[in-house]
Amino acid sequence: MTGEERSQMRSSQLPASSFQVPDAFHAGWATPFEVTFHTTGPITTEQRLRALKRFQLAVARQPGVEAVLGPASLLDRTAVQALCTELIPRARVITPNVPEAEALSGLRIASMDDAREAARRLHHMGAAAVIITGGHGGQATIGGQDLPAEVVDLVFDGHAFHECRAPRIDSRHTHGTGCTFASAVAASLALGCELLEAARLAQRYVAGAIAHAPGIGHGRGPLDHFWEQHTRSG
């Protein structure tokens, strides 16, 4: 696909408001399944947030269902307040990266102490637990500083802080890391893991998915979500 074709495709896309999810879907999608955790995926507008709230309220009617709030790459400011007041209080875990944590907490994060304070603020908004992921490097990107050699994911369970550390992988194929991390955390929690173990397993899984990325495209390429199966099969 050429650049011109991609541009034409983008210009022909219908606005998000053109797509309406029937309320029956929100109420009945999970009926045949035993759902214990779900992730939200990225949230980009207030309209999508409202639709997600209807979905989450329907799912929450099932006893024991909890949410992992994934990437919050909000494009309009009105959605930030709505997210903080309407979805974060319903989340079992939220997993913002550093720029997202800054936007949600209103705090500039330039150190681990800043990250801890941001996590406290997000917890006070109602999230049972907070994981601020370190893959984006936060101020390293904004200030032009070199990225640290380690990725440090900060885990706050509402009582204590923990740090999950892993070597940083030099790769441009990182598209979807936030959604992948949140989904991995939710999957481990659903399997009965404690929060810290789920965070460590998710970090390991995402690192492997980056390291084994297929190298597709010229921009930020996708991960290999099946890397464990590939490495086992040799």
Q: What is the pLDDT of residues 150-190, one digit of tens each?
A: 899 999 999 999 999 999 998 888 888 988 999 899 899 98
Q: Give the span between the Cα atoms of 170 and 149, in whole angstroms.
A: 10
Q: What is the mean pLDDT of residues 213-219?
A: 85
User: Given pLDDT bands bounded at 50, 70 and 90, which one contains residue 71?
Assistant: low
Q: In this predicted model, what pLDDT tens digit does every residue of 38-61 receive, in sequence order?
A: 777 666 666 666 666 665 554 443
- Mean pLDDT over 142-156 rounds to 72
Query: Which structural domains are found in the chain, ordered by start?
Result: 34-233 (3.40.1190.20)
Q: Which two tokens stand for residue 156?
A: 């706050």
Q: Are 130 and 159 in contact (CB under 8 A)?
A: no
First to last CA, the chain: 33
Cβ atoms of residues 155 and 133 within 8 Å: no
In Å, what is the CA distance from 55 to each residue of 48, 88, 92, 232?
10, 14, 16, 37
CA-nearest of 92, 112, 109, 119 to 37 is: 92
Q: Helices 112-124 and 98-105 sit at what angle, rounded to 10 degrees?
A: 50
Stretch 53-80: mean pLDDT: 57
| Largest Cα–Cα separation, the chain | 52
